[in-house]
Structure 1
């Protein structure tokens, strides 16, 4: 994943291109830039092997014609397949500049290097069945496959599968990343995503997450200045302990685990507070030293848990909700969350999110809508984690370790997020930092990790951000 890279929809990319044209850059010049980038990467990966380029009728095909011409002029063995008459305009003119032979898709023979220039950001319908079958066969027999912008058969804005074959090795994003590179089927089908800078300015509020910059505590720091996190224990105390330990390892200066097991397991540095009832919790949360509360990991779903949730909602401090707290909110999430004045973060996985929020659209669109409705920053977890703020900002983390799909890792993320909040983070910033640190800790932990392993790796992950 390319850190901090802008992400734009198909419509936003077209608008950015139109702005470039308005400044005097021609369509032909922009297509030459794109085709040149494709030619460079194709030559690099082909490494002297014969090349088969598939050119569709639109601008993606126009880029393919440019790349084919440049590669042939440089002495590469290039075969070109055209799947239709080029559209009037730049694509048609680039086709006219191609001086080599052209064959039809159904007459194409496999070659070691395949370049997919069939369809780009404009594709919104499934690939025609016969075309998809031939395309898949050519891809399967190629030793290396490069897609221009996106693999043909991936929806640009949602990452949905419109008939894309497997086995794409590299997708060369043109100008900016698209949601389809990072979401749903696109995440699995795009292979390694590279970014070609075409000198197209984009004003994007959506970006991939980047490594955070974490400040070293000053010589005058103390436990309270570094932030106090309160984690509320429930029916399954191990989950809350994981969150509390993650908050400690994530940099919080003081962590209190509040519950009805005041002398339970945990590090000696973890402070315990006995809380047996909603009244006890209300008294505890009135303490003005508390900078953030974590509620939900292992909370339970009984009446006591519901009472704890009500008390936490009334607290004036920042609140991080996960796990059972989200299940208790259910479809009333917007109503509940909309009543809070203090900042709130929620960290649902897709199952929890679907139970809380209705609606259609891409994962980004749905998460943005939920953030606006609830006034909360949402970390919508998954292989393609989407973080959205009520202000419309989005950060996307794709390609995290699949070994994170084990019990307790979400509890660690909730505690880690709280640690970033109490150290001064606001809005999407602490969520982005927590997601990056969580993913990096998983990389450091390696395969077959358990949630405890993430906590052990957090100091190393943080050291990379100082």
Structure 2
């Protein structure tokens, strides 16, 4: 399992970190020895004396494989090595020379109980050829335990893309630092467990991290409903969506939640103040309250001109904003200057379709696109999905660990928006609010178990929050 809050390095950043280590006086081959020894230790602890086949590529990843083979053999493991050809780097050739056993052809090698993929690691730019990819899948499929060194071969280390078919491994042992593809889909689904082997790399100071559990503060003796945060939810035609958001906000730390409803709806929590706001003028007048700490607009808002008028009242309220769902679609339809009216570093929470509509033409990995969008919006982006990315305008970004797949049900986005609004009202910090909300939703989903609906999720928010105090 990945260490929460750990740095995540791109291929280029990893090369720079390695060069700094080499420049400090540590030889490249010494780093290879460290990597091989660390990987061998994991494999030994898990697999013991099970027969092991190690697949070695031509580069330094293959060199790591030869070191692993030598160390496992010294411990009495029946280990064999199969390679794609000759080793192509100085360090990998040295590691191969230190291996006392034979080197088999990868296409004729017999399977073993354990398979170690040390073919290609960080920096791969093209996929394996069809024959090699098929052979890797065959050998992995016949093994009882499988390990990928640094990352499964065939994966782009920055984007999460599978450049060629990639089998699913039991354990991925990354070297020195986590890489974006350990968290981005579909790459993150190509292994069951992930560990990071310490090889002396200094990965600190990066701008991308895995999302960590937040540290939240309980109310103090002088707290009251206003200084704890008054959250306003601007509802629209679909009352259910905005009420879900209001219910979530009421349980996520806000001291006071006000629901500005247009359509009739049943708010189950009597503590949520329901205010009838039939038009834009009513919304404007209610939001003139300077005690409001955060405003959420979007869930259930609608997409017609009247919905835009209600949204516009929220946009011009002067309060910190969370924009979700219909608000994002309405903004996307307003033309090239649609983002110019956003103020106060808003939090935007698009899923894939909303993101593409609001930020068309952006290139790069999901992290890179989220960062570009944050700059364009001058706000915080929660780019939702199984690999949710949070990005701030200054380039800082976080990838959330894989959350419950049961979150793929209607209304969970509305719950997340409500959590964001409450945390924004409490913290007054859009970056902290976004990070806190994503973690709280994932933890609530974990506690909810299987087959929940969004309404069920809300009941687990207080326990998720309590775990962070």
Asked if these proteins are the same fold (TM beyond 0.5), I'd say yes
CA distance in 2, matches of 1:307, 1:206: 37
Further displaced range: 158-167 or 268-277: 158-167
Q: Alignment partner for residue 382 of structure 1, among 385, 388, 412? A: 385
Q: Alignment partner for residue 366 of structure 2, among 345, 363, 368? A: 363
CA distance in 1, matches of 2:396, 2:456: 31
Corresponding position of 1:342 = 344
Corresponding position of 1:124 = 125
CA distance in 1, matches of 2:75, 2:339: 61
Q: Quick check: 2:237–2:263 contact (8 Å CA) kept in 1? A: no
- Structure-to-structure mapping, 1:386-401, within 5 angstroms: 386-401=389-404
Q: Quick check: 1:152–1:164 contact (8 Å CA) kept in 2? A: no
Corresponding position of 1:415 = 418
Q: Secondary structure at the match of 2:338?
A: helix
Further displaced range: 422-431 or 78-87: 422-431
- Structure-to-structure mapping, 1:1-150, within 5 angstroms: 1-2=1-2, 3-150=4-151
Q: Quick check: 1:164–1:189 contact (8 Å CA) kept in 2? A: no
Give 1:264 deviation, angstroms.
4.0
Q: Quick check: 1:231–1:244 contact (8 Å CA) kept in 2? A: yes
Cα distance change, pair 218–334 in 1 and its aligned pair in 2 (3 A): farther
Give 1:123 deviation, angstroms.
1.0
Q: Quick check: 1:404–1:442 contact (8 Å CA) kept in 2? A: yes
Asked whether 1:171 is paired with 2:169, we answer no
Q: Which runs of 5+ in 1 are unaligned?
A: none
Q: Quick check: 1:54–1:81 contact (8 Å CA) kept in 2? A: yes
- Structure-to-structure mapping, 1:147-162, within 5 angstroms: 147-162=148-163
Corresponding position of 2:441 = 438
Normalising by the residue count of structure 2, what TM-score does the alignment of the two structures yield? 0.97
Q: Which runs of 4+ in 1 moved over 6 A?
A: none
Asked whether 1:180 is paired with 2:168, we answer no
Give 1:164 deviation, angstroms.
3.8
Q: Quick check: 1:205–1:393 contact (8 Å CA) kept in 2? A: yes
Q: Secondary structure at the match of 2:427?
A: coil
Q: Alignment partner for residue 451 of structure 1, among 449, 454, 461? A: 454
Q: Quick check: 1:317–1:343 contact (8 Å CA) kept in 2? A: no
* Superimposed CA distance per residue, residues 384-429 of structure 1 (whole angstroms, 9 cap, x where no aligned partner): 0001011101111131101001111000000001111111241321
- Structure-to-structure mapping, 1:178-327, within 5 angstroms: 178-202=179-203, 203-261=205-263, 264-327=266-329
Q: Quick check: 2:60–2:89 contact (8 Å CA) kept in 1? A: no
Q: Secondary structure at the match of 2:422?
A: helix
Give 1:134 deviation, angstroms.
0.8
Q: Quick check: 1:333–1:356 contact (8 Å CA) kept in 2? A: no
Q: Secondary structure at the match of 2:388?
A: strand
Q: Secondary structure at the match of 1:106?
A: coil
* Superimposed CA distance per residue, residues 300-352 of structure 1 (whole angstroms, 9 cap, x where no aligned partner): 11111011121111121100001111111116587333333312001011111
Further displaced range: 335-344 or 199-208: 335-344
CA distance in 2, matches of 1:156, 1:79: 27
Q: RMSD value over aligned CA atoms?
A: 1.3
CA distance in 2, matches of 1:161, 1:100: 33
CA distance in 1, matches of 2:144, 2:431: 41
Further displaced range: 434-443 or 202-211: 202-211
* Superimposed CA distance per residue, residues 270-314 of structure 1 (whole angstroms, 9 cap, x where no aligned partner): 101121111111111111011000000011111110111211111
Normalising by the residue count of structure 1, what TM-score does the alignment of the two structures yield? 0.98
CA distance in 1, matches of 2:112, 2:273: 65
Further displaced range: 60-69 or 164-173: 164-173
Give 1:189 deviation, angstroms.
0.7
Q: Secondary structure at the match of 2:460?
A: helix
* Superimposed CA distance per residue, residues 194-245 of structure 1 (whole angstroms, 9 cap, x where no aligned partner): 1112221122111111110011110111101100000011110011111001
Aligned residues: 466
Q: Which runs of 5+ in 2 are unaligned?
A: none
Cα distance change, pair 331–262 in 1 and its aligned pair in 2 (3 A): closer
